[in-house]
A and B are shown apart, each in its own frame.
Chain A
Amino acid sequence: MNIKAINLNLSYGSDDILHDINLEINAPKIYGLLGRNGVGKTSLLSLIGSFREPTSGQILINGEEPFENARLMQETTFMYDKDYTGETDPPSRILKDINRYRPHFDLEYGMELLSKFKLEGKKSIAKLSKGKQSAFNVVIGLASRSPITIFDEVYLGMDSPARDIFYKELLKDQQMHPRIIILSTHLVSEMDYLFDEVIILKEGRILLKEPYDEIVSRGVTVTGSKQAVDEFIEGKEILNEEQLGDTRSVTIYGNLSDAEQVRAMEIGLHVGPVSLNDLFIQLTKGEE
């Protein structure tokens, strides 16, 4: 599958949400979509999921517009933080119904996930806690096995053990059934290891789209004695600082030259990678 956005714009009335988005997603990998609140993550994902149409520009899946395209719409699953108020069926019943519509749906896997997330009871989904409802959204998204699967913040209500099950299942199932998975999240430091590629939105525009490894090499963490670190980082852009006793750890933006790396080693500093979260905070600063 291939997703392509060409000069994509979206406005709600006079409110401009997305500006001139150009983006291409080709490989069946896990993409992390990051951005501050209100930058248009959900809007962009709704366009891919055919929930709405762009104001101008195009969104193409395999070269065709997905909106109202029956063949393409069935290949895309867009899970969001859904409100189940008024729903009377238990999770297992809902899965059976979805199985009627989703061409790649694996009902057996879905049922297995229900028991992993302890959702196999007869209680209606509306009566379950917010966290369980979120877990159910995760189950639908995984069991649908759609070539394009989008999770828009569905895991927010889940407790950490449940999220951990989700991450493990996601990686395991992705290995067996590779597909394009887009995860939009605020839980950056918790989920960064899942991402093959990272897309950051800022003020309705794509700020960057890079493989995870490349993006985290945009900065380094230097750890060592307070004095040595302070000396070494002079004049550099600091993303984050932490200190424990005499040990100081500073995250700086930008790469170190070979000479700087050698010098760091000489003065006994440990040089490590930067966390995606620190970079994310730095890159999306100044939006308020």
Chain B
Amino acid sequence: MQKPVSYLKVGYDLFYVQLTWTFWALGIFLLINISRLIFLDYVDSYYSGGYISANIYMLVIGIIAINFLPYYVENGITRKNFFLGNVLASIGLSLVIPILIYVISFFEELIVHNFTSIVLRDHTLEDVVEQVTTDIDGNIIGEIIQSIILTPFINPESHVVLSLALFSLHIFAFYIIGWMIGAAFYRLRLIGGLIFIAIGLAFILIKDSMIRLVLDIPLFQNLKVLANFPENLAFPSVFIIILVSIILIHFLTKRVAIKI
């Protein structure tokens, strides 16, 4: 008998497929950004815009990632190897997407600065994050939505590596939480899936608040209790949330029946 397909090969393939989707998504983001440049005077940079869109993009592809599972099991790959492979693929995606967005943004700015008079706003996102926090205070739905689309931001001009790292962390968390929700629907059907949506949203809010604590950005009113959370534990908590989500995915999928 031949050696079984390793999770590294599965991971590479999953990374490749999802990267292909990502190129499409980034291309569409760029088209939107360019059309805004044509019609508007003040436009967010591609990086600022991408920072928002990438969160939703990763949440969505995370949710549908479970659909790869039947394909792999059908082709003789264990659930475990798919799980390990896709964890690696999602880490890879989370690292590559911020860099791609940064590079595209860099060239876009270069072109725009040299050939047009359009002003690209880059620093605004930080202000927006703080501004919106005060605007929507007390509205839990608004707080959840902001946690998804307007995650705490570090300006790449102030610290590029830190900015990219935070970007990666956010989108990785979104992918994993999406995958967890998708896996819950696959395994536990509707009711279980809905419960996991609630768990997922709670994780997103906590993750967002922890990063706010780290970056010294005001917390949402409904989450003010977290202000007393020890600041030195805030950053590790983000990793714990991601780890707990990964463990939950493992338990949801490790013995799941493939539906046919």
Residues of A within 8 A of B (CB): 42, 46, 50-53, 67-71, 73-78, 80, 82, 97-98, 100-103, 146
Contacts and interface: CB of A to CB of B under 8 A. Distances in A.
Contact of A52 (B76, B80, B258): B258
B19 to A, nearest CB: 15
A152 B77 CA distance: 20
B74 interface: yes
B257 A101 contact: no
Contacts of B73: 50-51, 73
A75 B5 CA distance: 12
- Interface-central residue, A50, A67, A70, A78, by most chain B CB under 10 Å: A70
Contacts of A76: 76
Contacts of A103: 1-2
B260 A101 contact: no
B230 interface: no
Given A98-B75, A101-B5, A42 B260 contact: yes
Contacts of B1: 71, 75, 103
Contacts of B255: 53, 67-68
Contacts of B74: 78, 82
Given A68-B255, A102-B75, A80 B260 contact: yes
B79 interface: yes
Contact of B4 (A53, A71, A100): A71
Contacts, number: 60
Nearest to B255: A53
19 contacts: A42-B260, A52-B258, A53-B255, A68-B78, A69-B78, A70-B5, A70-B78, A73-B76, A73-B78, A74-B2, A74-B76, A74-B77, A80-B260, A100-B5, A100-B9, A101-B72, A101-B77, A103-B2, A146-B76
Contact of A102 (B76, B80, B81): B76
B80 A53 contact: no
B216 interface: no
Given A51-B73, A70-B77, A101-B77, 8 more contacts: A46-B257, A52-B258, A68-B78, A68-B80, A73-B73, A73-B78, A74-B4, A78-B74
B13 interface: yes
B258 A46 contact: yes
B5 A74 contact: yes
Given A68-B80, A70-B78, A78-B74, A100 B257 contact: no
B239 to A, nearest CB: 28
Contacts of B5: 70, 74, 100-101
Contacts of B77: 70, 73-74, 101
B78 A75 contact: no
Contacts of A75: 1, 76
B114 to A, nearest CB: 39
A51 B72 CA distance: 11
Nearest to B74: A78
Given A71-B4, A74-B4, A100-B13, A51 B260 contact: yes
Nearest to A83: B260
Nearest to A81: B260
Contacts of A97: 13
Contact of B81 (A70, A77, A80): A70
A80 B258 CA distance: 12
Contacts of A78: 74
Nearest to A53: B255
A101 B2 CA distance: 11
Interface string B225-260: 000000000000000000000000000001101101
Contact of B76 (A42, A46, A67, A77): A77
A137 B43 CA distance: 50
A71 B5 CA distance: 9
Contact of B260 (A46, A67, A69, A71): A46
Contacts of A101: 5, 72, 75-77
Interface string B53-83: 0000000000000000000111111111100
Contacts of B81: 70
Contacts of A98: 75
A78 B79 CA distance: 16
Interface string B8-20: 0100010000000
Contact of B257 (A51, A68, A69, A77): A51
Nearest to B2: A103
Interface in B69-111: 72-81
